[in-house]
Structure 1
Amino acid sequence: MDKDGPSISDEEWERFLREAEAGSPEAPKEPSARARMVARRLREEPGRPEGWRTYRPARQRRSKGWYVMALVAAVVMLTAALGGGRVTGWFGGGDGGGAPLADESRRPDQPPATEAAVRQPTVEEPFRGSPAARWADGTAGIHLPPARATGWMSKDEVSRALGRSRDFLAASSLDRAVLSGERPRKALALLNPKQQDVQTYVRKAFSAPSREDDPLLLFSRFAKSRARLVGDVVKTRGRITYREGERGALEVTADVTFVYPVVRTAGGSDEVARTIVRREIVMSWDDPSKVLTEPGTFSLVSYKVDTTNGGCGPRTGYFVPSFGAAGAAEGPEDGRKVDPYDRSTTMEAHMREASETRCGTATRS
């Protein structure tokens, strides 16, 4: 396809589908997120062992060629530091007195500064005492790079795909209805319906959440009966990058941290807690002449999530934040210490550090 030409036509798309059903060797292949992840890891970091939280779903019977295995979902769940003798307190950093930060166009080389004094959040100032006080609101905190022709896509097509990638982040992690526990229909509509391993995960995640099939891997949700958001703002910081992927696809990586201030639903409480979620999602906008896909959707390559104060017990499909000293006992006494605002390390490094502990202790919230 000419990088400056139009997208594939409906007639060509129908031809590809007919060839796929007929078993033509030229027919596009069904995408498997696991195969993409394995190929990328072997290419970039050969020989590195996988963490114990790596998830390997069963292989897809229809998949052939390089698309042969299912999705990796690496998860780290951290408890928040909420007082008590063995956890650290609500130490602040960037308390809102400074100027807003510029976009994160590249990975920072150090974590945000930490204050010595404890500055408790309030309903009026839910990000008080947190580096997120200087972060942007919603999608404004997610940096988009300039578009250029890449793989099978023209510059304009890349620009649209980047915008849709950010739309997925908004629909999965910022949509008010989804945050209140509703099904993320807009986000789900952007997932390639031909990617059977991911569709299976989605069905299981919303019908019977488990450690392997947890909707919180991709979507942010709070149970309305337990917690509700404070105000209308979710603070974000992160960036989207891209490159040419397998078979000329546009491979987009989103690495974003979301900060959710919440209060208890019951009792009219005004005690504010914060749930902090960092996600790395790799999306492949595939060439429909080579991969079975639907226009306007992407295939998942991989996803990782690192959560602070989201709950460390049985999977319910919702974040379960803790409040005050009553929630101080989730993390093991010898658990690792984690700064949830530190974006200077890669998510892969977080996974390696977490390989020995299921729940660590956050140094601040």
Structure 2
Amino acid sequence: MGAGTEPDGSSRSDEEWERFLRESVEGAADSPKEPSARAREVAKRLRAEPGRDVERWRSYTPARPKRRTGWYVVGVLASLVLLVVALAPGRTADLLAGGEEAGSPTPAAEPTRPTGDEPFRGSPAASWASGAEGISMPKARAVGWMSETEVERALARSRDFVVRTNLDRAVLRGERPEKAIALINPHQKDVQDLLGTAFRSPSEDDDPLLLFSRFQPSRTRLVGEIVKTRGELTYREGERGALQVTADVTFVYPVTRADGGGDGEIVRTIVRRELVLNWDDPRKVITEPGTFSIVSYKYDMTNGGCGTPTGYFTPPFGTDRPAGETGPEVDPYDRSIPVGRGASSGDECARATRS
């Protein structure tokens, strides 16, 4: 047998055998690798089996199983990240930019200053209705001596009184509210006495502000044409079969200095009124057709001044605001508190927690 013998019995030449040894030592790129002892044993056993294609078995590479777990986890994580971005884009941007540490509190929004074009900016009243639209009306039904139609008419006139006393531009400028006064029973002596004195010599007991919203035109000017409102009218049967109507309405007035001085500061005077009216049966109470009697009246007010009554709201501008206010803090937009709990009186001014 020569230097090398092939499986079919043919022999290699000495030159081929020498080249084979040299390339094996130097590691030629296409030189065959010597199989391991385990591989040689398996190959020898397979050759003995009839019909076995050894070369084909050695060259077959089985398909790798699809590993879904890794991509599935990545997909879930990506979905969570997208959800966080959608729910809190600002927070995510801050974290990615390194401007805010995880878990640190989000800074509170800075207060927004009102302007002449947007006098309700930064106020809860910005989303309220304007004027009479903010005063809701109940569905009418027959009560006491009145039919359903008469109750509906009385409710409309009751709202007219609220509008004329708190939203009429002339009344807000300090003019005498003649149209509103015409709706009050002229035979109700205590109220007529109040009306006869209040506009001439306002005092704590006889103050037109008890029923009417007024600003002194030489001092205060309304900003814009809109007053924001929120409230409602309700009714029930009162004494002697009267239709008793209760109005509970909050008014927000944006005002500024009449002379345009200062830095254009805008103050919002907030007034909440509760007014109870009786539409009496003329067979039982002396009254005039189309008029009502006033059962009670009270109001809460913030940013409207306090102290000696002048007959006008006097919003504090700039240095006019008392230093070291000692009055109670109230939220003028909290309508769950009964009217009268947060009223400014005497020298003690209620302080609004927001306006």
Write the letter of the residue equivalent to 2:280: D
Following the alignment from structure 1 to structure 2, what is the Cα–Cα distance between the partners of residues 253 and 331? 37
Q: Say yes or no: does 1:346 pair with 2:331.
A: no
Equivalences for residues 1-365 of structure 1 within 5 A: 116-267=109-260, 270-324=264-318, 326-329=319-322, 332-333=325-326, 335-347=327-339, 349-350=341-342, 358-365=348-355
Write the letter of the residue equivalent to 2:198: A
Q: Which residue of structure 1 aligns with residue 51 of structure 2?
A: none
Following the alignment from structure 2 to structure 1, what is the Cα–Cα distance between the partners of residues 348 and 317? 20
Q: Percent identity?
A: 64
Q: Which residue of structure 2 aligns with residue 55 of structure 1?
A: none
TM-superposed CA distance for 1:187, in Å, is: 0.6
**Matched-pair contact (CA < 8 Å) for 1:336–1:361:** yes
Q: How many residues align?
A: 247
Following the alignment from structure 2 to structure 1, what is the Cα–Cα distance between the partners of residues 273 and 133? 16
SS at match of 1:359: coil
Following the alignment from structure 1 to structure 2, what is the Cα–Cα distance between the partners of residues 117 and 169? 35
Write the letter of the residue equivalent to 1:177: A
Following the alignment from structure 2 to structure 1, what is the Cα–Cα distance between the partners of residues 347 and 321? 17
Write the letter of the residue equivalent to 1:185: E
> What's the TM-score once normalised by structure 1's chain length?
0.65
Following the alignment from structure 2 to structure 1, what is the Cα–Cα distance between the partners of residues 233 and 129? 15
SS at match of 1:304: strand
**Matched-pair contact (CA < 8 Å) for 1:330–1:359:** no
Are the structure 2 counterparts of residues 273 and 147 from structure 1 closer, same or farther at C-alpha, using a change threshold of 3 Å? Answer: same
Are the structure 2 counterparts of residues 254 and 132 from structure 1 closer, same or farther at C-alpha, using a change threshold of 3 Å? Answer: same
Following the alignment from structure 2 to structure 1, what is the Cα–Cα distance between the partners of residues 180 and 324? 32
Structure 2 unmatched ranges of 5 or more: 1-107
Q: Which has the larger radius of gyration?
A: 2
Superposition RMSD in Å: 1.8
Flag the structure with higher helix content.
2
Following the alignment from structure 1 to structure 2, what is the Cα–Cα distance between the partners of residues 355 and 327? 17
Following the alignment from structure 1 to structure 2, what is the Cα–Cα distance between the partners of residues 121 and 155? 44
Tell me: higher relative CO, structure 1 or 2? Use CA pairs within 8 A at least 6 residues apart.
1
**Matched-pair contact (CA < 8 Å) for 2:231–2:249:** yes
TM-superposed CA distance for 1:160, in Å, is: 0.3
TM-superposed CA distance for 1:183, in Å, is: 0.3
Following the alignment from structure 1 to structure 2, what is the Cα–Cα distance between the partners of residues 307 and 349? 10
SS at match of 1:261: strand
TM-superposed CA distance for 1:356, in Å, is: 11
> What's the TM-score once normalised by structure 2's chain length?
0.67
Following the alignment from structure 1 to structure 2, what is the Cα–Cα distance between the partners of residues 121 and 350? 24
TM-superposed CA distance for 1:348, in Å, is: 5.2
1:63-95 per-residue CA deviation (whole Å, 9 max, x = no partner) reads xxxxxxxxxxxxxxxxxxxxxxxxxxxxxxxxx
